[in-house]
Amino acid sequence: MIEITILALVLVAGLAVGLAVRGREGKVRAAAPAADTRTHLLAAVGVSGTGPAVLHFSADWCGPCAAVRRVVAGVATDLADAPKPPQDIEVDIDAEPALAKELNVLSLPTTFVFDAEGRERFRISGVPKAGDLRSALAPLTA
């Protein structure tokens, strides 16, 4: 009987952790405003600080990264006529491990939104919804 109780507790704990992780998937979360000490690493991949940028980490072996590529490209195209159109920057995590480590990228796909000053404003784990990404970029592109 004790074994069944322990098994049930382990299953419930595993389910809770799984639901918590899945609940964060694809959500646009605001980043804590802080001085960005990663300027040189970001500049090396094209985050210039001249306008908003959407930086998404991907890899050849990452299936969901193709969906992120389509979502980001679509949103960037939609906002191309904005006063400050966003840059669409895709970074191969295998080519830029130092930047991935500095930005605490723990899984793929991971997407960041930077403002015109190059500060991290939002972070998205998983595939973002186009509407959520567009809403996050709207005040930055005006």
Q: What is the CATH number of the domain that holds 67?
A: 3.40.30.10
CB-based contact 120:130 (threshold 8 Å): no
Note whether residue 125 is domain-resident: yes
The arrangement of strands across the sheet holding 120-125 comes to 28-30, 120-125, 110-114, 53-58, 87-92
When divided into structural domains, the chain yields a total of 1
Note whether residue 44 is domain-resident: yes
Residue 107, both tokens: 């899984």
Note whether residue 114 is domain-resident: yes
Residue range(s) defining the domain that contains residue 119:
34-140
Per-residue pLDDT of 4-54, as tens digits, reads 888 788 888 888 777 776 666 777 767 765 555 678 888 889 998 789 999
Note whether residue 106 is domain-resident: yes
Assess whether pLDDT exceeds 60 at residue 117. yes
| pTM metric for this prediction | 0.77
pLDDT band at 2 (very low <50, low <70, confident <90, very high): confident
Helix (H) / strand (E) element for 14: namely: helix 2-24
Note whether residue 42 is domain-resident: yes
Dihedral angle sign, alpha carbons of residues 73, 63, 132, 51: negative
Note whether residue 21 is domain-resident: no
Per DSSP, what are the bridge partners of residue 28? Answer: 124
Note whether residue 14 is domain-resident: no
